[in-house]
Amino acid sequence: MVVQYGVQNPRMFVVDVWLVIMSYMSVLDLTRLGSTCRALHEFVTLPHVWRDALIQHRFLDQCYPHLRSCAAQVIRHQLITTARLDHIWTQPRIIPKRIYTFPLNSPGVFQGLKFLPGGTWLVFLFHCRNLNPSRHSNLCLIRPSAGFSEDDPPAASTTFQSDMCWLPFLDQDGPYKSSRGDDLMLLRTKCNDGSNAFGIAHLDTKTPSIRIPLTFRTNVFVRNYAAAGDYVVYGWITTDRKHLLRIMQLNENYDGFRRDVTVEIDCPKGHDGKLRIRYDLRLSSRIPRILLVSTRLIAAYNVPSDIPNDSDSNPRLLPFWQLHPAAVTFGRFITIFHEGAIVSSYEGQIRFIRPELDASEPNAHVIEKYTFKPSHLQCSQWPSLFAAQRIFWNLTMAGQKETADHCQIAIETTAVPENEYREGRTLMDFQEAQILDACPSARNRIVQDWDELSGRLCIRSSESRFPQDLRTRRTTWRVTLVDFV
């Protein structure tokens, strides 16, 4: 059927044909297709169109598995947000959509600041003897208000005084989404008796409230740990050189374990001793998997569901996927993206090692190498930030000094289809509101956190008044949120 001007009616094709055509389109092409006519808009808004697009995405489906259970409108919004970020990253220079700053008035020692998934709330950890005489930790949920319009929600916060002194946040601590969509965070500390203590913090943004329903201890020397979804795992090596893992699955109330098993993982000789070991929980497949990462071996293990909790013996798990370095070592590991790439620094290059655990070929993987200019590897040193396939760090250009109210932030990203020829580098001009003060001061900026779901960057600034005199030095903190989309 042909209508006027020679344009074919989209309804002449059955829906299945359009679904096949749309499966080859990018996210931005799908949005453009839906704006052409009512018929195509109706086809594009079908829920399984966006669920299929989520499955085909290069990292969203794996890094954020809670999106699978979200409504189609939420999935569509998230895919469009990430696609716009990828398109922005192809530009040689970025101008943020909006920037707003607020003071972080904490009367204690700063221990960590992170986004909850979604970028609306921040979780803040600090120690304060005045608020908590036992010098235990204080957890605070913060929802800053931009104040640009009446639609912006008002600022809100709540503070929880813990009965333990928790250590600063690390990358593997979260926050992360449980299988029921709740925000959880893993806390850890060292006790006076030499044991390791862990706590599960439930961050409820609806009330808002914070509670720690579960704490547990272990006397073993923990090599490393990981937490994702409903699972928590930590490993240690026995005196007879056995590599053991304790795998715990939380119950519905997060106050106990539905499963609590200990297994032994098979490691070749030389990979179970003094080498630094990291873990990652891969929950994107039907069977939970554990990824072991060391400088000389990367291996993946399936976690079977038929292991009883009260098993007397420790079942031995064999790796179904292995990767050995072409040289002696993979280099120095910088970070591990959850369900994503392993980032290492070797011979002046940043390497992104991407295991393909579901590929038909055995031990399939992809290694992407990036050489950054200048030769000084700024991106692998503090205060850089690696998160959600992107890298951020402060950059001072040649012949240019960073001023108190202006700086440039270099942004790297990996595997952006539109930007292969640029190696994923772009610059953002960051302009912070200048604070007029006659007192001598020194300012330092740290790229604190990044939230992929909202496209929001968190930058923490510290300003020390009277920096030369330790007796009168005063440090104030300010948090700047940068929106890109």
Query: 3-state SS of the chain?
Result: CECHHHCECHHHCCHHHHHHHHCCCCHHHHHHHHCCCHHHHHHHCCHHHHHHHHHHCCCHHHHCHHHHHCCHHHHHHHHHHHHHHHHHHCCCEECCCEEEEEEECCCCEEEEEEECCCCCCEEEEEECCCCCCCCCEEEEEEECCCCCCCCCCCCEEEEEECCCCCCCCCHHHCCEECCCCCEEEEEEEECCCCCEEEEEEEEECCCCEEEEEEEEEECCCCCEEEEECCEEEEEEECCCCCEEEEEEEECCCCCCEEEEEEEEECCCCCCCCCCCCEEEEECCCCCCEEEEECCCCEEEEECCCCCCCCCCCCCEECCCEEECCCCCCCCEEEEECCCCCEEEEECCEEEEEEECCCCCCCCCEEEEEECCCCCCCHHHCCCCEEECCEEEEEECCCCCCCCCCEEEEEEEECCCHHHHHHCCEEEEEEECCCCCCCCCEEEEEEEEEEECCCCEEEEEEEEEECCCCCCCCEEEEEEEEEECC
Q: Could you report the per-residue pLDDT of 124-158, keeping only the tens digit for each?
A: 888 776 655 566 788 889 888 765 555 555 677 88
Q: Give the mean pLDDT of 97-121.
A: 82
Q: Is the pLDDT of residue 199 over 90?
A: yes
Domain hosting 63: range is 12-87
Over pLDDT 70: what percentage of the chain? 73
Buried b (16+ CB within 10 A) or exposed e, 298-332: bbbbbbeeeeeeeeeebeebebebebeeeeeebbe
Vertex 273: Cα angle to 272 and 278 (nearest 5): 65
pLDDT category of residue 201 using cuts at 50, 70 and 90: very high
Q: Give the mean pLDDT of 376-400.
A: 51
Q: Could you report the per-residue pLDDT of 395-447, keeping only the tens digit for each?
A: 544 444 444 445 555 555 554 444 444 444 555 555 554 444 444 444 567 77
As a whole number of angstroms, the distance between CA 200 and CA 194 comes to 20
Specify if 230 maps to a domain. Answer: no
Specify if 286 maps to a domain. Answer: no
Specify if 26 maps to a domain. Answer: yes
Q: Is the pLDDT of residue 223 over 80?
A: yes
pLDDT attached to residue 380: 40
pLDDT attached to residue 4: 47
As a whole number of angstroms, the distance between CA 63 and CA 354 comes to 13
Specify if 481 maps to a domain. Answer: no
pLDDT attached to residue 126: 83
When the pLDDT of each residue in the chain is averaged and rounded to a whole number, the result is 76
Q: Give the mean pLDDT of 353-378.
A: 72
Specify if 42 maps to a domain. Answer: yes
Q: Give the mean pLDDT of 4-20.
A: 62
Q: Give the mean pLDDT of 174-198.
A: 88
Phi, psi angle pair for 138, to nearest 5°: -120, 125
CA distances from 197 to 165, 216, 234, 259 (A): 10, 6, 12, 19
Residue 462 near residue 444 (C-beta atoms within 8 A): yes
Q: Higher confidence at residue 105 or residue 302?
A: 302
Q: Could you report the per-residue pLDDT of 74-90, keeping only the tens digit for each?
A: 888 888 888 888 787 77
Q: Give the mean pLDDT of 374-382.
A: 42
Specify if 470 maps to a domain. Answer: no
Residues 6+ apart with CB under 8 A from 228: 176, 280, 281, 283, 338, 339
Q: Which of 194-198, 330-334, 343-347, 388-392 has the lowest mean pLDDT?
A: 388-392
Residue 436 near residue 463 (C-beta atoms within 8 A): no
Specify if 156 maps to a domain. Answer: no
pLDDT attached to residue 185: 92
What pTM value is reported for the model? 0.79
pLDDT category of residue 383 using cuts at 50, 70 and 90: very low
Q: Higher confidence at residue 144 or residue 462?
A: 144
pLDDT attached to residue 234: 92
As a whole number of angstroms, the distance between CA 22 and CA 33 comes to 9
In angstroms, how far is the first alpha carbon of the chain from the final one? 41
Q: Could you report the per-residue pLDDT of 266-312, keeping only the tens digit for each?
A: 876 655 555 678 888 887 777 888 888 888 888 899 888 777 766 67
pLDDT attached to residue 176: 87
Instruction: Give the chain's domain count.
Output: 1
Q: Higher confidence at residue 184 or residue 395?
A: 184
Q: Higher confidence at residue 354 or residue 249?
A: 249
Specify if 81 maps to a domain. Answer: yes
| CATH code of the domain in which 21 resides | 1.20.1280
Residue 453 near residue 81 (C-beta atoms within 8 A): yes
Buried b (16+ CB within 10 A) or exposed e, 356-373: ebeeeeebebeebebebe
